[in-house]
A and B are shown apart, each in its own frame.
Chain A
Amino acid sequence: MAKFKKADSMLEWFDQRLGVVNFAKVMMTEYWIPKNINFLWAMGVLLTMLFTMLLVSGIFLLMYYKPDVNMAFDSVNYTIMQEVAYGWLFRHIHAVGASVVFLIIYIHMFTGIYYGSYKKGREMIWISGMLLFMLFSAEGFSGYMLPWGQMSYWAAYVITEIFGGIPFIGDDLVVWIRGNFYVADATLTRFFMLHVLLIPLAILGAIVFHFYSLRFPHVNNEKGEFFDYEVEAEKYLAGDKKHSKVIPFWPVFLSKDVFVMGVFLIFFFYLVFFHYDFAMDPINFDKANGLKTPAHIYPEWYFLWSYEVLRGWFFEIAGISGKSLGLMAFGFANVIFLLIPWLDRSPTVKPANQRPFFKYWFWILMADLMVLTEFGKLPPTGPNAWVGFGASLTFLVLFLSLPFITKMEAKKAGRK
């Protein structure tokens, strides 16, 4: 052991053993965030808080939940909802939190797209974020099955059936995923394992990775400005806090986040106590019945846009069935966001509204996603089917044209 001196204080005692002083500097007081930001930059901390709430409420639900087709429904709707003290509260927080977390994820994601926070060194931030989005989707889907209501059952049925469209191995793959010819006990227990262990572990890992990936390229700011962090940090530490372009994570950045969090939680708890139907579908309070299809089957709202991309293709084109076309479009929709850093060929990092072509692209994308989401829930009959097709096609065209649009934009900027 190296030279050792008896500690004079508790802090020193810990510092000698764990290097806490330096750790606190690196993680908190000298972790620099740009000052030029708005409340959209608080979404990351909001998501961390929501994930923590989901984790904690989930742990309490786990104490009483029974992953068995004969017991699952009653363990949720009787034991947890009516018997366990505050069991209903944990379930409401868990269900509403799972729905609202996607709202915040989408705001976080489109903030990133709007401000161009995925390029010029920030590619790994984007990729790890999209990885988190996919893991949260898998977590949401697997968790939705657990109450074993009608919507749990039929959503699981329809979504696992989608894999049947994969050529050659499709049918076997569906049986392999379900562990049975249909959605059954084996399916419930394996999705239970995924939901409470494997995927949460992966999410925890991906969150750490996402935070780590922010360290080198640094957080983007409202203007997309690049500056020397070391110079600005020195300015701040020297006391010129007003003119420095950076602020420390603690306490300055977090103080704003905590305020945003407070306002958000008023809204969140309003939903938890008084307006939870959107996250706890009434149909799911009917016990799962494999021989009785509900009149309308739809996924949770956050999957509606990609579900509609899948559903929009309802007729044969050039000998390829609508189902295969839909599946291809669905596959495309689920990976294409990951590739945005390379589809955007313009080197400019600026908010979308200051980019001559990209701004149109961005707002058309937002409108298209809203149309897809809304029509994803409506029955796909008559004109609805054609609106779905149009919106689905628009989605594909938007992403296929992005490289050309941004290339043109880069050329225009070069001419100036």
Chain B
Amino acid sequence: MMDESRRGFIGKAFGAVAAVGGVASLIAMKKTWDPLPSVMSAGFTTVDVSGLEANKLDIVVWRGKPVFILKYTEDMKPTDGRTVKVGDHYYSVMIGLCTHLGCIPGYEEDKKLFKCACHGGEYSPDGVNTFGPPPRPLDIPPFKIDGTTLVLGDEGPEYKKMTAKA
């Protein structure tokens, strides 16, 4: 015959073991929902920016997201901390998704601004939000400069300098 405290101990021990099993199962289930390793490591995108036309938006796809690359004309001023210098030219390199709700803004060459068709947000050529609902400037993807090419997804010294400033 078991005394009360021993029965209480066994009950608690059993409860604890069951809880551990339950939590472990939940962790496994959460991990099953995680993005797959192949998705996480989904490559680095390399773009040669030397051949781009000034004031003409180039869009490359990186991890399923559009990345805007805009070469500046002579009279467009670079913004410290947002503009990238590759070779002799200045460029904006930004994730082309409106920071409001993720639509893709279009670039209006004559007005030199980005306009989002979804909710009317506007951005200057360096990606700073100037009008409407967007809460912050367009995000800058991690990049590395390699001669005249940009490697998206890699964090080069220029990118680190930018993020340190921001």
Chain A residues close to B by CB (< 8 Å)? 154, 157-158, 161-162, 175-182, 184, 186, 190, 290-293, 295-297, 311, 314, 321-323, 379-381
Contacts and interface: CB of A to CB of B under 8 A. Distances in A.
Interface string B109-136: 0000000011110000000000011010
B39 A179 contact: yes
A373 B99 CA distance: 24
A154 B104 CA distance: 11
Nearest to A321: B135
Contacts of A190: 33
Nearest to A184: B64
Contacts of A179: 33-36, 39
Nearest to B96: A291
B117 to A, nearest CB: 5
B24 interface: no
A176 B33 contact: yes
A323 B135 contact: yes
Contacts of B61: 291
Nearest to A314: B133
B120 A161 contact: no
A70 to B, nearest CB: 15
B33 A322 contact: no
A181 B100 contact: no
B101 A380 contact: no
B56 interface: no
B65 interface: yes
A175 B120 contact: no
B104 A292 contact: yes
B35 A176 contact: yes
Interface of chain A, helix or strand or loop or mixed? loop
Given A182-B63, A322-B135, A379-B120, 15 more contacts: A179-B33, A179-B34, A179-B39, A180-B35, A182-B64, A184-B39, A184-B64, A291-B59, A293-B117, A296-B118, A314-B132, A323-B100, A323-B133, A323-B135, A381-B119
A184 B34 CA distance: 13
A295 B42 CA distance: 30
Interface residues of B, number: 24
A180 B39 CA distance: 6
A181 B120 contact: no
B103 interface: yes
Interface of chain B, helix or strand or loop or mixed? loop
Given A180-B39, A322-B135, A293 B118 contact: yes
A181 B133 contact: no
Nearest to B118: A297
Contacts of B100: 323
B137 to A, nearest CB: 13
Contacts of A322: 133, 135
A176 B34 contact: yes
Nearest to B100: A323
B102 interface: yes
28 contacts: A157-B102, A158-B103, A161-B101, A176-B34, A179-B34, A179-B36, A180-B35, A181-B35, A181-B42, A181-B65, A182-B64, A182-B65, A184-B64, A186-B39, A290-B64, A291-B61, A292-B104, A293-B117, A311-B133, A314-B133, A322-B133, A322-B135, A323-B100, A323-B133, A379-B119, A380-B120, A380-B133, A381-B120
A51 to B, nearest CB: 27
Of all A-B residue pairs in the complex, the 4 with the closest CB atoms, nearest first, are A182-B64, A293-B103, A321-B135, A323-B135
Interface string B10-52: 0000000000000000000000011110010010000000000
A293 B120 contact: no
A111 B52 CA distance: 62
Contacts of B133: 311, 314, 322-323, 380
B101 A158 contact: yes
B66 interface: yes
